[in-house]
Structure 1
Amino acid sequence: MAYPQIPTAVNVITAVPAVGPESSRVTCPSCYASVQTKVENESTTRTHIVALLLCVFLCWPCVCVPYCMDSCKNRNHYCPNCNAYIGTYKQ
């Protein structure tokens, strides 16, 4: 007598690599290639709040300062092969 096969579930757990402010060498969780990450700076809500505070308390030309400084932005890391998101370094 043959028993029916019961499908089994396979759980794949992918660890998010730790990334810093500079490009990092990681294994991409999407394409599994060993790559040097591509870093893109992104303005956040905090960047906009700092610009607003500078406008209110100093003067309007100071609004540009947070948008010109990388230290006021998050750094998003992407795989250069498949363009998959890898992680974010928050300032």
Structure 2
Amino acid sequence: MAMIIQPMPEPMVVVQPAMVQPVMVQPIHQPVIQQPPGPVVIRPPLKDRPGRMKCTCCHQEMVTVTRGVNGVLTWTIFGTLLVCGIWPLCLIPFCVKSCKDIEHTCPSCQNVVYIHKRM
């Protein structure tokens, strides 16, 4: 009688993942430093008239100097009057200050600090 030898099957190993414990993360608390409220500077919007403000260039408190400069509104009125055929009157916007943009400058350093645009 011939004997048949069969290899033994390898034992099956079952690996279960380890139970992961939930990790509690506590936020790091930064100390809150409260400063006393300082003076609130509310700058009025600069329009047609000179206004008080701090110069961005020389850092001095001053009252601005204003002058009219030709802007978009000036050229729009000029173009409209020219196209309508009223060519003698189309130069009026260049003479009227209420049609021009207002340029605010610092009196000490002559730096332009703000331009109020009409359009």
TM-score (norm 2): 0.57
Matched, 1:50 2:77: yes
Runs of 4+ aligned structure 1 residues displaced above 2 Å come to: none
The separation in 2 between residues aligned to 1:25 and 1:46, in whole angstroms, is 26
| Matched position secondary structure for 2:81 | helix
Matches within 5 A, 1:1-91: 18-91=45-118
Where do 5+ consecutive residues of structure 2 fail to align? Answer: 1-42
Which one has a larger percent strand, Structure 1 or Structure 2?
A: 1
Once the two structures are TM-superposed, the CA of residue 58 in structure 1 deviates from its matched residue by: 4.3
- Post-superposition shift, 1:39? 0.7
Q: Specify the code of the residue in structure 1 equivalent to 2:88.
A: P
Partners of 1:45 and 1:18 lie apart in 2 by 20
Q: Is the 8 Å Cα contact of residues 50 and 65 (structure 2) preserved in structure 1?
A: yes
* Letter aligned with residue 53 of structure 2: V
Count of aligned residue pairs for this structure pair:
76
Letter matched to residue 86 of structure 1: V
Deviation at 1:77? 0.5
| Percent identity between the two aligned chains | 26
| Shift, 1:56, TM fit | 2.0
Q: Structure with the greater relative contact order (CA < 8 A, sep ≥ 6): 1 or 2?
A: 1
Equivalents in 2 of 1:20, 1:52: separation in Å? Answer: 25
**Going by fraction, where is helix more abundant, 1 or 2?**
1
